[in-house]
Structure formats: structure tokens, C-alpha cells
Amino acid sequence: MRFVNSYQNKIKEIVEEKKLTYFIDTMGCQMNENDSLKYKGILESMGFKESTVQKANLILFNTCCVRENAENTLFGRLGFLKHRKLKEDDVYIVVVGCMTQQKHILDKIKTSYKFVDIVLGTGSMRVFPEKLYNVLFSNKKEIEYIENDNEIEEDVPIIYDDKYKASVSIIYGCNNFCSYCIVPYVRGRERSRKPEDIINDITKLAKEGYKEIMLLGQNVNSYGNDFKEKYTFTDLLKDIEKIDGIEVIRFMSPHPKDFKYDLIELIKNSKKIARQIHLPLQSGSTRILKEMNRKYSKEDYLNIANKLKMADPEISLSTDIIVGFPGETEEDFKETLDVVKKVGFDQIYMFIYSKREGTRAARMEDKVTNEEKVERLERLKKLYEENLPLLNKKMIGKTYKVLVEGKSKTNENLYTGRTSQNKVVIFEADDSLIGKMVDIKIDSEHLWYLKGTIENR
């Protein structure tokens, strides 16, 4: 389905007349961030200019429902805007994203936050201009739940915040139904974009000067499973590698159960695929993994990690870990610590289990106390931070290709970029090198970043 904005000119007229502005507040994952860039593209195509949450006429919340505190965050921010909404003219509040696919959220907004103008779900971007038109011209509330219809919207305008790095969604939805996760219920079943649409998008980005691409999906290595003819995630990566101008290819998140040998071989031989793989673990206990419905064991995970390290010792691994899943014992948690010790993760996104209504895990008996969960999280964090300097020190003296992203946020005399392993590096440079790939020799490590020197300047 091609995105068509038949309301663009009509809305643009009133937007430019009143000089209307917008602000987007994004919660959640990189898929949500990518969706927000599309909402940004739609709004700016209709004449809106970006502003701050304090001054913007249209405030759009792109919501996430993976964690419970996300609901508290949304309703707190809506409450903060109530006074401004009731006091000022031309203030419009929009709520979109995963959270709005849940009926109890819609009901709460309808009863307790009646000043919200538009509420739309994850499959509703194509109707956003129409709903906005109705609000602007007839002050009509547009709150509705729209079932995912498995249609993929192409040609949605998108505006990236970065000039050299861009994210591209390749697959939507999820078929895995992990027992703790609400995503399949709010994002729908897996739908892969056509290869030619993805290739066209990335080719266009390359011509515009983009050097690094991040491929996005709830489970990127399920890409192509819904096609009639065989075309896999590995096939897609091979085609993207052929695009001139693209120098770094990243992707997230793959699922361990779908991490095949041909993908590892491609990564091993590739000149463009980043030497950093995000491989969500969630738990190191095979028993807990079964309760989570992850469809792999501790041994399966370690086997994939070992194969990746054997393919290229320079590969770094990052992961997600949930602490305190219902029924997790001390022995289960020690299994997680054992995996962390054996793999040596360069980055861990660690979370205390958050119950999500509507999932199977929400109905499980949970005897793990909050004190135990917090204590385990601290032990995991301590182990990770103790190991990180050892991993960083292995990089000292080696040379890595780095995309110069711009000046450091903490020191205007230095510049910053990331290695293929996704390690932040700061170094001396000048503006002429921004957006270019340079060879940097690592001189020292500082836990969360490295320092280096550009070679052959």
C-alpha cells in the first residue's frame, strides 16, 4: 500500500497561516523512533515546524507498552499538558503507538483525558492526515482502535535527525509470543517489506550521503518467512551489501532461535556488516527460557555466541536480560550470570521483569520479592561493569574504521564516532572529516568510551 496524503494542501494552508508547530515525544524501541521520524515527515510535509513541548501547537506522543511504567509516564505527561490545552487556542494533543492498541488505555483516555484530540494505533499512520484535518477544521475528536490489517505502508515521508546514519524498517510484527511480551498483540503478525522497496529506500539514502544503515524489526532474521518464494534475511543483506555508498550495515533485533549458519558465514565474510551483534538472551536458565517460550536453551545460545566469536574474534555481542521473571530461583539467576561470564557481553540492556496484562506470564505465580529482583539486578550490573574494561583493553593498539559523526557532546575540541563493534571513540579531528570513514588507532579505554588517534592524516 502506497501512502497518499490527499489532505496535505488543505492542512498546509491553515498551518502556514497560523504558523503552527509540533513536538514529538517518543517512548520505547528503535521501531518507535523510526515511526516518529515518519510522523515528523508527514507533519513537515504539511507545513508544521518543529518546536518544544512547552511551545508546540501539536504534541504527539508515540507510545510503548513493553514496560508498566510507560503508562504512568504517558498519563503524567498528558496531565501536565491539561492546563495548557484548556487555556490556549490551537493546541492539539495526539497519542499514537503500541499503547493505544490496548482497550483499557483507550477507555482511560476517553474517561480521564477527554482533552486529547487524536488517538490512533500502530496500523493507523495512513489515516493520520484525515483525522488531523477533521480536528483542525471541525474540532472533531478522533479516538479509535484500528485492527492491524497486515498492510505495509510504503512511501511515507521520513525526516532523519542524522545526516549520515539512518534506520530502515524491514519487517513489522512478531509471531513468537514470548510469554512476557505484549508486542505480538499490539504490532500484529510478521509482515516483511518487499526487497525492492527496501533496496530502493537504501539506494536513495546512499545517494543522499548516508554511510550507515540500521535494519529494524521485532525479529529481523524472520524476514522473508511470509514470502511465497524463498528470499531470506541473508539474501537481503547480500543485496544491501551491493549498494554503493553504504559502508556499515547494522541490524536489530535478531532472535537466537532463527540465527542460522548461513547468516554467521555471511557476517564472517562481509566487509560491511558491523562487527557487533545484538543477540537477546533474556535468561541463562533453560528452565526459565522454556517458561518464557523463547524456543532455545542455554546451550543453544552459547553455541551461537561461540560460532560468532569463532567466525570473527573481533565481533562484540550485546544482549537483553530480564531479572526476576516469575518463578526465577537463585539457581536460575546463577545460570544467567554464568552465560554473562562465558560470553563477555560488551553491552547489556538489563531490566527487572515488568508484568504486562494480557500475556501468559502475567498469570504466573510470582514469588520473587522486589528486594530479590533489585539485588539480582545489582549483581548482574556489577559483573558486567567488572568485565567491560577487560574487553575494552583488548582494543588498545588496534586500528578500526570509524564514521566521524561530529563533535563530542562533552568536549567541543574533540570529535566522536563508533567502531564497527559499536564502541564510542573520541579523537582529535576537524569539521572536514564529518561524515567520512577514517582509520583510528585506539590509545586508551575509559569504561564507557575509548580514546584514539586518526592514522595517516
What are the tens digits of pLDDT across the range 203-233?
999 999 999 999 999 999 999 999 999 999 9
Q: Where in the chain is the domain with CATH 3.40.50.12160?
A: 8-143
Q: 428 or 366: which carries more pLDDT confidence?
A: 428
For residue 228, give every residue at least 6 positions away whose Cβ sits within 8 Å of its Cβ, in sequence order, or none: none
**Residue in 32, 24, 3, 61 with CA at minimum distance from that of residue 169:** 32
Q: Where in the chain is the domain with CATH 2.40.50.140?
A: 399-454
Q: What would the mean pLDDT of 229-243 be, rounded to a whole number?
A: 97
**pLDDT computed for residue 141 by the predictor:** 72
Phi, psi of 452 (to 5 degrees): -150, 180
- pTM value surpassing 0.75: yes
CATH class of 165-391: alpha beta
The model's pLDDT over 404-418, given as tens digits with 9 standing for 90+, comes to 999 998 888 999 999
Q: Where are the alpha helices (DSSP H) in 179-318?
A: 183-187, 195-207, 233-241, 261-269, 286-292, 298-311
Q: What would the mean pLDDT of 53-70 be, rounded to a whole number?
A: 88
Percentage of the chain beyond pLDDT 90 is 80
Q: Is the pLDDT of residue 148 over 60?
A: no
Phi, psi of 203 (to 5 degrees): -60, -40
User: Is domain 8-143 given the CATH code 3.40.50.12160 in the classification?
Assistant: yes
Q: Is the pLDDT of residue 68 over 90?
A: no
User: Could you identify the residue written with the cell 583493553?
Assistant: 393
**pLDDT computed for residue 149 by the predictor:** 57
Q: Is the pLDDT of residue 53 over 70?
A: yes
Residue 418 burial (10 A CB sphere; 0-12, 13-18, 19+): buried
CB atoms within 10 A of CB 9: 10
**pLDDT computed for residue 67 by the predictor:** 72
Q: Is the pLDDT of residue 339 over 80?
A: yes
**pLDDT computed for residue 439 by the predictor:** 97
Q: Is the pLDDT of residue 188 over 90?
A: no
Under the banding of pLDDT at 50, 70 and 90, the label for residue 71 is confident
Under the banding of pLDDT at 50, 70 and 90, the label for residue 276 is very high
Q: Where in the chain is the domain with CATH 3.80.30.20?
A: 165-391
Q: Is the pLDDT of residue 150 over 80?
A: no
**pLDDT computed for residue 144 by the predictor:** 59
- Residues 455 and 453: their CA atoms lie apart, in Å, by 6
Residue 170: alpha-carbon gap to chain centroid: 12
**pLDDT computed for residue 20 by the predictor:** 97
Q: What would the mean pLDDT of 235-245 be, rounded to a whole number?
A: 98
CATH architecture for residues 399-454: Beta Barrel (2.40)
User: Could you identify the residue written with the cell 509540533?
Assistant: 22
**Residue in 17, 25, 15 with CA at minimum distance from that of residue 45:** 15
The model's pLDDT over 374-394, given as tens digits with 9 standing for 90+, comes to 999 999 999 999 999 999 999
**pLDDT computed for residue 328 by the predictor:** 97
